[in-house]
Amino acid sequence: MELIKTDIAIVGAGGAGLRTAIAVAESNPDLKVALISKVYPMRSHTCAAEGGAAGVIKSDDSLDLHFNDTVGGGDWLTDQDVVEYFVNEAPKELLQLEHWGCPWSREPNGSVGVRPFGGMKIKRTWFAADKSGFHILHTLFQTSLKYPSIERFDEFFSIDLLMADGRCQGVVAMEMKSGRLFRFQAKAVVLCSGGAGRMFPFSTNGAIKTGDGTAMAYRAGVPTKDMEFVQYHPTGLLATGILLTEGCRGEGGVLRNKDGYRYLQDYGMGPETPLGEPVLKTMELGPRDRLSQAFWHEQQKGNTIPTPWGDSTHLDMTHLGEKHIDERLPLVRDLSITYAGVDPVKEPVPIRPVVHYMMGGIHTNIDAETPVPGLFAVGECACASLNGANRLGSNSLTELLVFGKRAATNAVEFARNRNSEANESELQEQADKVQTKVRELVQRSGGAESIAGLRSEMTKSLEEGAGIYRTEETLQKTCNTIADLRKRYAGIELHDKSNVFNTDLFQALELENMLALAQTVAEGALARKESRGSHQRLDYEARDDEQYLKHTLAYYQGDEAPRIDYHDVVITKSKPGVRDYSGGAK
């Protein structure tokens, strides 16, 4: 096993990983950075984000308004010190991106353009047409190339963290093209590995989003936090799950049921207003959890449209006109034509809610630190408690930037204070265990289980039991199924026994990660006997601040179900109130 020594190892080279690496290199060019990614950086999932990034820039907006939208949107499960830091730093990071060359869309007077986004009561989302994540990722990647201290390890699959002397000291990863294992020894490790939406069958997430970093931290003793909060995006393209950005609704697109009726006015989103008005009532600009739940209710009433790929409603943008759509939503038009055979200029697009984002993740504080010294986490794999029970669209891209820089600052400080030598023998012993585990997995024979079969059962169970609406019965059934699947995982057999790009092996390792995390989702949801944000229970319909105004922590217990505990929510100035979206979005 080859040894690579570095100062800071970063797992994941998407928006969070690149921003972290740049911040380290800018402030401390003498520190070596190993940027480890299972895909080429420009294939990271940040590239798929379409709508934009939130930050206060206009004179009619304020930091307090952004704070209130985020806290209320998260149903008061956000840590308010984290939110306050975030809204203050957001404009600085977005301006920094502009200085690095991000081509934000402009107003006619040349100033940065902003568009409305769901759950935000005022326009504050910076955008680059409908390819915002693409341009942000390109900007960060190009900027990172300036720094020789950043060494990239593309297409390296991270398998496990290395722990010694009570702190994280590295990671074991496999080079995909050769099958060789590498021990990355580091003074600090930052996980930026993305979410785990592929646990569900219908998702906007790319195939790489399997929760690898979250599962590694979980096995290393770091609790996951708030994993029961899984966000459904209300406008996934039917059949494929491809995201149609919230920008569609920000630009004036509307949702209609089978009768052509704008049904959101029946679910506390405000009265219908004439199309084309410059200021619309909340309606389609309500938060994602509420819009997805409204679809479920329309489905129960028989108001959805049956199709071979399941029930749908319509996203109608025909009134916007071809010129406006081609200027502001060119990718959406292309995706709709290519994957649904529908031109949004001429007819409504069939859509349905689709799993989009994990509000939960690795337990971190405002400094991006985990409870394990030397281990930090940023982005969707982490839970600093910015998003609470429901993330507002366009906060996540900015979160990558704000907390990527924050993690870099604190990881550098930690690394510079490490004077003691690493425990080489203990680290090598752990690395050898990883090597043995991989070898045994590849060489196993006579297994009766298939990776595809177990994965299919997992995704179906989560969708049926821990979907948009949940009950004690459905959740308990899902908990039982996932526990059984984790036991049956020991019976899988790989068909590919080779070393070079063994995708069979990678999918097996990803499945192990997803099964562990799926259990935290189901068990956390079962224990939370209330409805809050994206976690909605038909048997406990009310929000219960007295019992559950707290974060769920899930602790790894080997083959057993996780131990569930709780952690206080930080409240500074906004007391829990009613989430009201019946007013206007300016």
Q: How many CA atoms lie within 13 A of 438 on its CB side?
A: 28
Q: Which helix (H) or strand (E) holds 237?
A: strand 230-237
What string of pLDDT tens digits covers the 586 residues of the chain? 999 999 999 999 999 999 999 999 999 999 999 999 999 999 999 999 999 999 999 999 999 999 999 999 999 999 999 999 999 999 999 999 999 999 999 999 999 999 998 889 899 999 999 999 999 999 999 999 999 999 999 999 999 999 998 999 999 999 999 999 999 999 999 999 999 999 999 999 999 999 999 999 999 999 999 999 999 999 999 989 999 998 899 899 999 999 999 999 898 877 766 655 543 457 888 889 999 999 999 999 999 999 998 999 999 999 999 999 999 999 999 999 999 999 999 999 999 999 999 999 999 999 999 999 999 999 999 999 999 999 998 999 999 999 999 999 999 999 998 766 778 889 999 999 999 999 999 998 888 899 999 999 999 999 999 999 999 999 999 999 999 999 999 999 999 999 999 999 999 999 999 999 999 999 999 999 999 999 999 999 999 999 999 999 999 999 999 999 999 999 999 999 998 877 654 4
- Domains of the chain in sequence order: 2-229+359-421 (3.50.50.60), 237-355 (3.90.700.10), 426-546 (1.20.58.100)
For residues 487 and 475, give the distance between their C-alpha atoms in angstroms, rounded to a whole number.
Answer: 19
Identify which of 295, 248, 285 has the alpha carbon closest to the alpha carbon of residue 118: 285
- 61-79: pLDDT as tens digits: 999 999 999 999 999 999 9
447 CB burial (10 A radius; 0-12, 13-18, 19+): middle
Q: Which of 124, 198, 249, 470 is catalytic?
A: 249
- In angstroms, the CA 125 to CA 112 distance is 10
Taking the C-alpha atoms of residue 544 and residue 78, their distance in angstroms, rounded to an integer, is 15
Average pLDDT, the chain: 94
- The CA distance from 484 to 174, in Å, is 29
Would you state the pLDDT for residue 147? 98
How far is it, in rounded angstroms, from Cα 363 to Cα 214?
Answer: 9
Point out which residues pair with 2 in neighbouring strands.
182
Find the catalytic residue in 233, 333, 486, 528.
Answer: 233
CB 291 within 8 A of CB 392: no
> Which DSSP helix (H) or strand (E) runs through 180?
none
219 is catalytic: no
Number of CB atoms found within 10 A of residue 308's CB? 6
Cα 127 to Cα 107: distance, rounded to the nearest angstrom: 11
Give the residue from 492, 398, 505, 393 showing the smallest Cα distance to 450.
492
Q: Are 149 and 33 in contact (CB under 8 A)?
A: yes
Query: Residue 181's pLDDT is what?
Result: 97
Q: How many angstroms separate the CA atoms of 39 and 570, rounded?
A: 36
Which neighbouring-strand residues pair with 175?
A: 156
Respond yes or no: is residue 314 known to be catalytic: no
Q: pLDDT value at position 375?
A: 98
pTM, two decimal places = 0.95
Write phi, then psi, for 437 (nearest 5 degrees). Answer: -60, -45
Determine contact, residues 151/7, Cβ cutoff 8 Å. Answer: no
d(CA 76, CA 390): 10
